Structure 1
Amino acid sequence: MRNLSRFHLNGLRAVEAAGRWGTLRAAADELGVTVGAVSQQILKAEEQFGRPLFERLPKGLKPTSFGQDILKYLSAGFAEISAGLALAERRRDDVLTVSVAPVFASKWLVWRLQRFHEIFPDIRIRIDANVALVDPDTSDVDVCIRVGWGNWPHVKAEKLIDQVIFPVCSPPLAERLRQPADLAAVPIIREPTPMFGWGAWLGPNGLDESILGGGPVFSDASLCLDAAVAGQGVFLAWETLAGDAIAFGRLSAPFPDRYSTGIAYWFVTSQTLPQSRAVSAFYDWLKAELARMDT
């Protein structure tokens, strides 16, 4: 590995980040430096390699054939380094990295984390708002909180709470809803690719989705909930998404019926690595907080 001494590590990091993101701006944001600094580091690396690594295009950077070959090894190498550092940090009982879907994080978790800090002031939590299920064995993530059936391979998944759904809307709009069939006369707020449809709630009430009219469509559940608060229609929500808005009077649940979707929230950790004190503390606290919603 003597050739490593002939190349600047910062330059190689800049090359790898730029190749992965495809733009100088995104690479600079990841590395915490300026765009100009990334550009200069790439130029120095190209001088050391003696040939260009990227084509400069109006929309960003495109690796040359030589650059693609180099990036394959750089990406694999830095991934291995990151995994090694993640394992080193995971051994600390005062650091916890939690990967959680942005909707769950923004509408439920962040509003309760202060209570965790009060109980465990020595544990530092880092929230990674992400929907991808990462590998806890090789990443810097200690815990994933995910929605699904819990049958992911090569991980340990412990059920936190079943997901139950129910319609929500603004209090003024709720006054127009006396029975489920009244949903035919109000706007319906939808996601383009939901994990479940209205049939999961309408079916047990002897109805189907054909009774529903149109309404606004938003790209994620958080925006759908905000639209419901604003009085734009009725949205099919769940407890961790809508519970706080209902408790504070911003939303109403016009019907008492709540039905399971068959999926649940899961606490996902490594199947092989020992569970740290921080992970155990966070799991116990999370279960207790979720149980409070039923009281």
Structure 2
Amino acid sequence: MPARFRASTSRRPVFRKSKMRHLNRVPLSALRAVEAIGRTGSLSAAADELGVTPGAVSQRLAKAEDRLGATLFTRQAAGLCPTEACARILPRLTLGMEHLAAALGQLAEEDGQSLTISVAPIFASRWLIWRLHRFHARVPSVSVRVEPRTEMTDFRSSEVDIGIRVGASPGRGIAATRLLEQRVFPVCSPALAGRIGRPEDLLSLPVIRETPSLFGWQVWLSAHGMTVPEHLSGPTYADASLCLDAAIAGHGVFMAWETLAADAVEAGQLCAPLPGRHATGQSYWLALSPRSDRKPAARAFRDWITDELDRSVRAWRGPSAP
């Protein structure tokens, strides 16, 4: 579940004018496809990163191979494997794409009016997207692009300005701001809430879980002097948002964290039948990319989201909440 950030390194190759003519042989879109396939190992992963279909990536690869007169990848059971010739050039292609991204990022930094934010999809859909209009009201000149991604943010090979993830720590060598400690509490539909009067009653109902490990249940139950039973009934979903929807639909009890479920409780879609919200040891972290650390828009967003989370916590836990 935890996702961290990768630190950035700085490398400065020297390009000679006489070599620039080779760039005319292959379209940049085809080179981007080759680099993405080589790094991710599949057409689908490359397509997801580039924001196009796998068919489009395949066509770009074919164009690159045609222009270069060489086969760049072979199909294997594990995916696409670079040929010997391709393996030799891939590190330099990646380096080149990093420098192109840095150049574009420098332009964005100079105008200071755009932000790309990488954030866990569940946090984006259940909390951030419903409040982003308040950032636009505070800083109307800044445009925000939200990239919902589950994988860790690699500031070296992306144009991301800000990464927001959940984990026990942001990762080694990363300067990050802790936004909010993650707390969990049981939720269910209003129809089921009447059947719950004490912690033991939770276990008499179907338990909705995100993974078989029952994340959060041991934290909450142990705070009430209980342990997780060996066998519990109830469905398992691979996505926490689906778990929340199942709880809203009345399919059982879900151990949710505040940024996921508190708005639904406030709206009356869910009930929190028992008191107590307990820390999991995980937190939300915000990291700025090294190139965006001095960007006024990035600092404005960091200040805004800190204030907005404070506002949410006071609404969820009361005015005296820390």
TM, length-normalised to structure 1: 0.86
Paired residue for 1:253? 272
Q: Which runs of 5+ in 1 are unaligned?
A: none
Identity of aligned residues (%): 46
Query: In 1, distance between residues paired with 2:284 and 2:153?
Result: 16
Paired residue for 1:289? 308
Query: In 1, distance between residues paired with 2:157 and 2:185?
Result: 38
Shift, 1:258, TM fit: 1.4
Paired residue for 2:26? 8
Paired residue for 2:210? 191
Query: In 2, distance between residues paired with 1:85 and 1:112?
Result: 28
Give the direction of change, closer, same or farther, for the CA distance of 1:37–1:148 in structure 2 (3 Å limit).
closer
- Aligned residue type for 1:147: V
Query: In 2, distance between residues paired with 1:161 and 1:33?
Result: 34
Quick check: 1:174 aligned with 2:193?
A: yes
Query: In 2, distance between residues paired with 1:25 and 1:209?
Result: 39
Query: In 1, distance between residues paired with 2:88 and 2:248?
Result: 51
Give the direction of change, closer, same or farther, for the CA distance of 1:56–1:275 in structure 2 (3 Å limit).
same
Deviations 1:38-70 (A, max 9, x none): 556544533443332233679975432222223
TM, length-normalised to structure 2: 0.79
Quick check: 1:215 aligned with 2:219?
A: no
Deviations 1:14-48 (A, max 9, x none): 43344445555665676567877755654453344
Instruction: Choose from 94, 102, 107 the match for 2:121.
Output: 102
Instruction: Choose from 246, 251, 254 the match for 1:235.
Output: 254
Shift, 1:244, TM fit: 1.1
Contact preservation (8 Å) 1:190, 1:224? yes
Give the direction of change, closer, same or farther, for the CA distance of 1:271–1:154 in structure 2 (3 Å limit).
farther
Shift, 1:270, TM fit: 4.3
Paired residue for 2:9? none
Deviations 1:90-149 (A, max 9, x none): 333211121111111000000111121122211111112123342547642222222223
Shift, 1:238, TM fit: 1.5
Identify the range of structure 1 (40-49 vs 91-100) with the bigger mean alpha-carbon deviation.
Answer: 40-49
Query: In 1, distance between residues paired with 2:97 and 2:157?
Result: 12
- Aligned residue type for 2:127: W
Query: In 2, distance between residues paired with 1:289 and 1:249?
Result: 21
- Aligned residue type for 2:26: H
Shift, 1:209, TM fit: 0.3
Shift, 1:13, TM fit: 3.0
By relative contact order (CA 8 Å, sep 6+), the higher-ranking structure is 2
RMSD: 3.0
